[in-house]
Amino acid sequence: MDCVTVKYVAKKPKLKNPLFIEGLPGIGNVGKLAVEHLIENIKAIKFAELYSKDFPPQVFINTDGTIKLVNNEFYYWKAKKKNQRDLVLLTGDYQGLSSNGQYELVEAILNIIEDLGVKEMFTLGGYGLGHEIKEPKVLCATTDTRLVKTMKKYGAIFKKNEPGGGIVGASGLLLGLGKLRGLKGTCFMGETPGYLVDPKSAKAILKILMKITNVDLNLSELEKKAKEIEYIAHQLREMESLSKEKSSEDLGYFG
């Protein structure tokens, strides 16, 4: 097996001016949640699987007792209306574990999408704040200053007064290496506490993508998941509070 192996599970699609959207695991799993919800809603078709020696040495056990080697997966969707564009979508189980592995993976991803005619991409991720957020904002970074004005119109926010920040992992590397190849790119990062899976942040990103792609999505399932996560977070906070009270009582006893 090569460092990166691509397996086509369906005929390579012929697409017209496609957009590429990436959502791999990361902070709050925001990007992964968003892309998987998009794939499910539009019934995108899987056409390729990407395997790497830089993924964890692991297989998942399916419900039928069979196994699945961890991977990344490519999907496509063809536009249904004149104001839409064909889409190429990427999600997966893991990102690369090392810097070298990440570069190898991203180069392989770029080779695949360039071969399909992609010239513009959107990468999705989370922006960890470490505290609860009622209404997450979507932060943005682009490869081209002309894209900044465009993305602001869709509701994305650019933090000009906070220089020196970075985007770690595939979401950033795809933009950086893609720019060297002449591809335009934008990264959307949904604000998130960062310590739990965050459907609310994924929903915020999808609202912007819906405007850009002119694709209508049903977000009710993400809303339901968001309420479940809020309940879990509330339970965890109560447990933490009780634990602190218990510790305080114990210290008082020995004082």
pLDDT single digits (tens) 146-203 = 898 899 999 999 876 555 578 999 999 999 999 999 999 999 999 999 888 899 999 9
pLDDT tens across 230-252, in order? 778 767 767 766 666 665 555 55
In a domain, 249, yes or no: no
In a domain, 113, yes or no: yes
Coil, strand, or helix at residue 138? strand
In a domain, 231, yes or no: no
In a domain, 252, yes or no: no
| Tokens matching residue 15 | 């697409």
Q: Bridge-partner residues for 192, per DSSP?
A: 128
If you average pLDDT over residues 21-31, what whole number do you get? Answer: 95
Q: Bridge-partner residues for 157, per DSSP?
A: 139
Crossing angle (nearest 10°) for helices 170-180 and 99-115: 60
In a domain, 214, yes or no: yes
In a domain, 241, yes or no: no
Query: The CATH number of the domain where 70 resides is what?
Result: 3.40.50.10900
In a domain, 125, yes or no: yes
d(CA 42, CA 81): 13
Query: Which position has the higher pLDDT, 216 or 234?
Result: 216
Question: What HEC string does 43-94 produce?
Answer: CCEEEEEEEECCCCCCEEECCCCCEEECCEEEEEECCCCCCCCCEEEEEECC
pLDDT tens across 78-102, in order? 999 999 999 999 999 999 999 999 9
Can you spell out the DSSP letters for 187-215?
A: EEEEEE-SSS--HHHHHHHHHHHHHHHT-
In a domain, 247, yes or no: no
Percent of the chain predicted with pLDDT > 90: 76
Query: The pTM is what?
Result: 0.90
List, as own/partner pairs, every contact residues 214-220 make where C-beta atoms lie below 8 angstroms and the sequence separation is at least 24, other chains included.
214/81, 214/83, 214/84, 215/38, 215/42, 215/84, 215/87, 217/37, 217/38, 217/41, 217/42, 218/41, 219/37
Q: Which domain holds residue 204?
A: 4-219
| Nearest Cα to Cα of residue 125 among 160, 82, 95, 155 | 95
Distance from chain centroid for Cα 86: 19
- The total number of structural domains in the chain stands at 1
User: What pLDDT, on the 0 to 100 scale, is given for residue 163?
Assistant: 53
> Confidence band (pLDDT; 50, 70, 90) for 254?
very low
User: What pLDDT, on the 0 to 100 scale, is given for residue 78?
Assistant: 97
